[in-house]
Structure 1
Amino acid sequence: MQPFAEDARQDPSAADSRWERIAPGVLRRRLPQWDATVGAVAGDSGTLLVDTGSSLREGAGIRADVAALLGSRVTRIVLTHPHFDHVFGTAVFSGAQVYAAVGVRELLARGTEALRDDAVAHGLLEDEAGEAADVLVRPHHPVSGQLTLDLGGREVVLVNVGPAHTEHDLAVLVPGSPDVVFCGDLVEESGAPQAGADAHLSRWPAALDRLLALGGEEAVYVPGHGALVDAAFVRKQRDELARRSAPQSGQRGT
């Protein structure tokens, strides 16, 4: 693994221009190239990061931004699903505890070649993809139902809502004014939801019903790709997925 040194002090205004403030202490960034979302939730005892980007270099940039904007280290990481553009930056966050849906640890233990190959197929440089795959951190904490984490002065709720976009989908609720729901790729705004070989299309609408029950009508929903959306958008996407899955109920993928 290429050594990524702890980040030098940088101008917070430069980092601030890359991040969107959703609620007090709740930020997100749309990363370049694949427009994937990463989120940051600040607590008194550290920062929780939602997803980590598509490479170690991208993860290091996220780490530097969090230090500049929030003045804290990332102590916890939530992986919404095991696709390269959401997990390949994890290894740069030394000492962070990693949470993911139950089954992700076992999936990664069987090998990361498929993730590496998918990253290269989507345009990540082969050496960067190989480097990230070789050191990819397996989650320390599997989430099978619902888990509440205390960040110090604020709680977040992790909810296993899959399978849907993948075999292993996790959502994050940050209660507040407004409530914020990080959806991973269960919701996409910048394009149609992507249903690959590991998707469960027929079960996806029910997962979005669970998201809506989790956040309610007034929440801000943060998609895995694209702009912030509301409950009406999630409901519309749920209905579109139900129509897509109707002719092939019981089948996976598209």
Structure 2
Amino acid sequence: MDNNWLELTDKVVAITGAVGGMGTKFCEEFAKQGAKIALIDMIDDKTEEQAKKLSIKYGVETLAVKCNTTSESEVDAAVKKVIKKFNKIDILVNTAAILRFSPFEDLRLDEWQAAINVNLTGYFLMSQRFGRIMIEQKHGTMVHISTIAALYPETYSGAYSTTKAAINMMSKQMAAEWGQYGIRSNCVLPCLVKTPLSKNFYSDPEVEKGRERLVASRRIGTLDDIANTVLFMASDRSSYTNGGEVTVDGGLNTMISDMIPKPGGRRQYAINHH
């Protein structure tokens, strides 16, 4: 396959949560493709370090931007820095998110609001501000990291599922309103993927085996699985996909019926009653 099949060379990509587990991976994979990358994160020193590393390793232009995506003024300043440096924006990848575990009856208002601020408002502000520029340009692509938990509630995870479900709808609304300007907005919905955020779930081998049994592909996903999908959705190779939700879960969402027990096991039951 042509190494430039995705045609991302010299595309300007802004990635939020750029030094988080997923964000770091996305930045590297876009850099491998020759894209110009704006790394947006709250962690100043680490963002600068990662930007320099990518620039040296892959010979691409990078920009480190310290920004709290929940702050309107900081988002405005960040967008101005990106446009001043690169003169355009081709792709926005919204990655920054938080997860706070809590039974719903014990969820504090400040925890609820923190999740909404980071997971939803941050996505909104970044999308709106970069979206205005994309409207002027008459082109642009947005990829928002959501989750299967937006469709099936992640119990005892506070406001996480609620905020991610809202992201899915926000993405559809932006696609519906901005598609006429050449802008695409899509969500990527991972689940059962090993990330720095989920690594504790897999410290027990039995837990990992139990999770694998729930997945049609019988394996746990990797950051590569997510990154490959994000790059494809960001590229013009997916140019007729707009307002979509792409699941990256190994077929977990297809396995609900398979989880319902039958006497002797579902396969054996079918054999016995054939």
TM-score after normalising by structure 2: 0.35
Q: Which structure: larger Rg?
A: 2
Which structure's residues are more often helix, by fraction?
A: 2
Which structure's residues are more often strand, by fraction?
A: 1
